[in-house]
Amino acid sequence: MTDSETKQEVKLQGVAAAPGVARGGAFVFLRNTPEIPRYIIPPERLNHEIQRFENALVNTRAQISQLRETVANRLGEAQAGIFDAHLLVLDDPALIDETLSSINGSMLNAEHCFHTVAEKYIAFFSKIEDEYFKERVVDIRDVSQRILHNLLGLSPRTLADLTNRRVIVAEDVTPSDTASLETGHVFAIITDAGNRTSHAVIMARSLRIPAVVALIDASKKIAPDDFLLVDGYAGIVYVNPSPETLSRYEELEREHDEFNRKVLRETDLPDLAADRRAFSLSANVCGAEDIDALKKYRANGVGLFRTEAVFIKNQSRIPDEETQLAAYRALVEGVAPATVVIRTLDIGGDKAHGALQASEHREENPFMGFRAIRFCLENKSVFRTQLRAVLRASAFGKTKIMFPMISSLDELLQAKAFLRQIEDELRAENIPFDEKIPVGAMIEIPAAAICAESLAEHADFFSIGTNDLVQYTLAVDRGNERIAHLYEPCNPAVLLLIRHIIVSAKKKNVPVSVCGELAGDPAFASLLFALGADSLSMTSGAIPEIRYLLRRTTSAELEQLVTQVYAETNPQKISAILKDFAVERLK
């Protein structure tokens, strides 16, 4: 941030996204495709230019091999396979030889020649309507970006390249970035973009890494040698913090540690409110790697398995039935005898997938676009493979299926009809699955919320996705930092919809859970419990605090809370009522 000898402290205010305090050196991660320079090479420098290109290839090979090894150790051989395809691109004589003859023939610099050749191949393969070539395009793009970064001497291109512990500073982080992160290498994540419910942030929270988002231009202000203090509770980042700030934070961290110890002491106490009304807290997970945390905090099973995480880990391949079955089964068996709610693929929005979406046009409004159930109903072979894997996993433990982004009864009925078709297929093949597997709908679009009663006639359960419900109700993109201040769950419209969904579900005796971030937010958990939510599903790390809080509530107090909240129309006042209620009980 400054070149001077003694660096001044600078305080940046963003949005608190994942709790915790962390400090460490900055790792500034800029994803944007670099500017490709074009210049003439003097004849006497030609050999040097070719050597430079060859060095970039050698370095790229070493980086990919290293990444391959890391991913194989962490996620297994199947996931590491993508890097074999990348290594093959490096061996491709067409790409490499053509670049070399282009440098020789044109006397232009290596970056320009390589970029031109790579783009020619990408354009050529992109036109071919075939899965194999779509995957090649993703591979070539990835590898060529890496080669260009090496030629230009730029910082590494993926977060998986981070090899020692730092604070990640980025314009934005995607779910695939977080999926490839070696968590032991990250103190914290701070980004210019995003808000609390961006998917990358949700993943950071499940990895228990502090995060601050919506910092607007932090990645431009922070230099790689800056030291950072990240306060994930208040959404503050101190660049080159003063000794006073550091010691103030030591005190604050002691208080947080004390608080965490206090709530953790109740982990083994029953999930009963002060007047013995039962509550149920389950976990939101991305895969079997979350089982340890879920057990540690004693979650009552999995309320939301975001299966897209299984897809996102490998951008160039669509996981086949066996790969998916292994992922789902590991979780179902690991969580047994408790239940796992498996949500079908919710790709799109802020969760991109190279191979799945390679042929799709860029969308102007991805969150309002070709996402989740809409994508699956039009990509039946992808949907079929997933449903087969989920149904097969249901033979190994209690499983429920849930469809995301349901916006109408027709959509729910179409998804269910297709599921029945897949069940018939499995029956004909004598493949076992749970014949009574419950099928539910996520209620996260206002249209579904308003029509919840008719949907309830066709659903075995509901799960309220508040992250999306808030964004669609208020027309506030959940990932857009410029309007993060407008993402207001205390807006009465949101609260009225949530109450309407729960009342509608109750009328039809359909159990309803809440799996958006509000479920694990102490300010909202009591209200959701008070409204009659049958279970709250959240990142495992949030469970001890919510357990501690709900154990200190009574029905009479909760009823009063509901009356107070719904009598108020001002979001700030509602927020204050909810926060006071939580703070009182968390003391």
Considering only residues 306 to 345 of the shown chain, the ones binding ligand PEP according to CB under 6 A are 306
Residue number, 241 or 287, with CB nearest to ligand PEP:
287
The verdict on 466 binding ligand PEP (CB under 6 A) reads yes
Q: What minimum distance in Å lies between the beta carbon of 583 and ligand PEP? A: 24
Is 31 buried (19+), middle (13-18) or exposed (0-12) by CB count in 10 A?
middle
- Structure-token pair, residue 229: 């203090």
Q: In sequence order, what E strands does 429-534 have? A: 439-443, 461-464, 512-514
Q: Which stretch binds ligand PEP (CB under 6 A): 51-59, 225-233, 465-473, 562-570?
A: 465-473
The verdict on 139 binding ligand PEP (CB under 6 A) reads no
Q: Which of 135, 172, 192, 346 binds ligand PEP (CB under 6 A)?
A: 346
Residue number, 78 or 443, with CB nearest to ligand PEP:
443
Query: Residue 306 touches which of ligand PEP, Mg ion, none (CB < 5 to 8 A by kind)?
Result: ligand PEP
Residue number, 329 or 371, with CB nearest to ligand PEP:
371
451-473 burial code (b ≥16 CB/10 A, e <16): bbeebbeebbbbbbbbbbbbbbb
Q: What minimum distance in Å lies between the beta carbon of 291 and Mg ion? A: 23
- Structure-token pair, residue 569: 């129309």
The verdict on 539 binding ligand PEP (CB under 6 A) reads no
CA distance 128 to 124: 7
The verdict on 18 binding ligand PEP (CB under 6 A) reads no
Whether the CB-CB separation of 542 and 491 falls below 8 Å is answered with no
Is 376 part of the annotated catalytic residue set?
no
Residue number, 98 or 444, with CB nearest to Mg ion:
444
Q: What minimum distance in Å lies between the beta carbon of 266 and Mg ion? A: 30
Question: How long a stretch of residues is the chain?
Answer: 587
Considering only residues 431 to 460 of the shown chain, the ones binding Mg ion according to CB under 5 A are 444
Q: What minimum distance in Å lies between the beta carbon of 2 and ligand PEP? A: 38
**Phi and psi, residue 483, nearest 5°:** -120, 20
Distances (CA, A) of 122 to 116, 134, 137, 317: 10, 9, 6, 17
Is 515 part of the annotated catalytic residue set?
yes
Torsion angle of the four alpha carbons 242, 244, 249, 255, in this order, in degrees rounded to the nearest 10: 180
The verdict on 467 binding ligand PEP (CB under 6 A) reads yes
Query: Residue 180 touches which of ligand PEP, Mg ion, none (CB < 5 to 8 A by kind)?
Result: none
The verdict on 465 binding ligand PEP (CB under 6 A) reads yes
Residues in contact with ligand PEP, counted by CB under 6 A, come to a total of 11
Distances (CA, A) of 259 to 52, 106, 416: 55, 66, 45
Place of tokens 């106490």: 269
Place of tokens 């968390």: 586
Residues 115, 199, 286, 376: which is the catalytic one?
199
CA-based angle 164:55:116, to the nearest 5? Answer: 105
The verdict on 543 binding ligand PEP (CB under 6 A) reads no
Binding site for Mg ion (CB under 5 A): 444, 465, 468
Catalytic residue numbers read 199, 515
Binding site for ligand PEP (CB under 6 A): 202, 304, 306, 346, 444, 465-468, 515-516
